[in-house]
């Protein structure tokens, strides 16, 4: 299957926000209006799925409502990109009910992260359309639409251009701790990328939220791992033990021996996973011994957040004291003259 690069966003485009997991109706109208106005500064017009603000007892809405809104967004020629409202817990419910032929005939950007990992990987696996792991609609409220803002810079480059993007570490990391039972914001200086295994590779990007990706194992919705670079992360509920066994589960897949490299996102402080613990965990897996592995890359459940293409290409060069990570939408972008 040939990968399909959806058209880039440009001034005047309409984006559609839909609920695929936790409902848009679970955020305030003021929150939604702030994001809408920010997008308007880029000349983007925001519309919302007909059922997007419905909320049931789970904080989501019905399978049929979510499927209908996603189908309508793909079928509407005026809509150029689909922003998923929020993450949650139940995005995988809708996968068997989607019309992948409709989606394949109307390629367009779709972006979200966390629980949305299920659908962006499923769409890529079923259609070959490159999808995006990055901030959903509600997450854009805390993003400064300025090139000095890490999240905005990489989000804008990924969705508005086809140029290869070199990923650099953010200077600071913002996290939320839940130790007291309510979110408490923490900010600290990043120590950059963690080099765990050296090596050089180039491959197709698959992954994002690890425990959600694992929900696709054994189904028609799981992307091939052949010639892939895995991007994986998890939230504060994932301890070292949880992350270890979830990653181990991926290594048992028949095509894991074709994985070319692994890129791991920033761990939340409440996971208690530091560089030493993660290095021991990775070094204890013989199947990872001969592929490059880096960690503490800015994607996942901390801020700032990288946007990257599922089905796109990652070029990774890792040596002592030096790391170079470049992402793009097609092979060959990193060829030396």
Active site residue 114: yes
d(CA 16, CA 142): 19
Q: Any idea what the Cα angle at residue 104 is, between residues 70 and 316, rounded to 5°? A: 100
φ and ψ at residue 324, rounded to 5 degrees: -130, 120
CB 78 within 8 A of CB 108: no
Helix (H) or strand (E) holding 101: helix 100-105
Q: 52, 114, 271, 315: which is the annotated catalytic residue?
A: 114
Told to judge if 233 belongs to the known catalytic residues of this protein, a careful annotator would answer: yes
What CA–CA distance (Å, rounded) separates 201 from 331?
Answer: 12
Per-residue pLDDT of the chain (337 residues; tens, 9 = 90+): 689 999 999 999 999 999 999 999 999 999 999 999 999 999 999 999 999 999 999 999 999 999 999 999 999 999 999 999 999 999 999 999 999 999 999 999 999 999 999 999 999 999 999 999 999 999 999 999 999 999 999 999 999 999 999 999 999 999 988 877 777 899 999 999 999 999 999 999 999 999 999 999 999 999 999 999 999 999 988 899 999 999 999 999 999 999 999 999 999 999 999 999 999 999 999 999 999 999 999 999 999 999 999 999 999 999 988 899 999 987 666 654 3
Say whether the peptide bond before residue 229 is cis (omega within 30 degrees of 0): no
31 part of the active site: no
Choose, from 21, 233, 271, 315, the residue flagged as catalytic: 233
Q: Which of 23, 228, 271, 301 is catalytic?
A: 301
Q: Three-state DSSP class for 234?
A: coil
Rounded to a whole number of angstroms, the CA Rg of the chain reads: 19
DSSP secondary structure letter of residue 309: E
* Residues paired with 326 in a beta bridge: 166, 315
Which domains are present in the chain? 14-160 (3.40.50.10740), 165-328 (3.50.30.60)
């Amino acid at each position: 299957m040939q990968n399909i690069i959806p058209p880039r966003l440009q001034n005047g485009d309409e984006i559609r926000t839909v609920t695929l997991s936790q409902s848009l109706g679970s955020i305030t109208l003021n929150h939604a209006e702030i994001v809408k106005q920010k997008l308007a500064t880029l000349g983007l017009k925001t519309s919302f799925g007909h059922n997007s603000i419905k909320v049931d007892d789970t904080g989501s809405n019905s399978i049929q409502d979510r499927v209908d809104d996603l189908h309508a967004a793909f079928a509407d020629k005026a809509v150029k990109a689909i922003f998923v409202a929020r993450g949650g817990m139940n995005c995988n419910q809708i996968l068997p009910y989607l019309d992948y032929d409709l989606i394949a005939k109307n390629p367009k950007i779709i972006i979200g992260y966390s629980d949305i990992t299920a659908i962006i990987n499923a769409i890529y696996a079923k259609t070959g359309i490159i999808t995006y792991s990055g901030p959903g609609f509600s997450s854009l409220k805390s993003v400064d639409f300025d090139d000095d803002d890490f999240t905005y810079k990489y989000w804008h480059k990924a969705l508005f251009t086809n140029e290869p993007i070199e990923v650099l570490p953010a200077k600071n990391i913002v996290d939320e701790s839940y130790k007291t039972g309510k979110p408490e914001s923490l900010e600290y200086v990043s120590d950059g990328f963690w080099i765990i295994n050296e090596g050089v590779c180039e491959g197709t990007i698959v992954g994002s939220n690890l425990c959600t990706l694992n929900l696709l194992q054994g189904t028609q919705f799981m992307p091939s791992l052949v010639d892939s670079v895995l991007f994986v992360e998890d939230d504060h509920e994932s301890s070292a033990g949880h992350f270890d066994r979830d990653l181990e589960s991926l290594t048992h897949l028949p095509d894991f021996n074709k994985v070319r490299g692994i890129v791991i996102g920033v761990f939340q402080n409440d996971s208690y996973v530091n560089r030493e613990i993660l290095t021991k965990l990775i070094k204890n897996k013989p199947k990872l011994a001969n592929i490059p592995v880096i960690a503490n890359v800015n994607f996942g459940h901390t801020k700032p957040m990288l946007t990257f293409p599922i089905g796109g290409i990652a070029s990774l060069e890792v040596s002592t004291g030096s790391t170079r990570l470049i992402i793009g939408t097609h092979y060959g972008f990193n060829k030396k003259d």
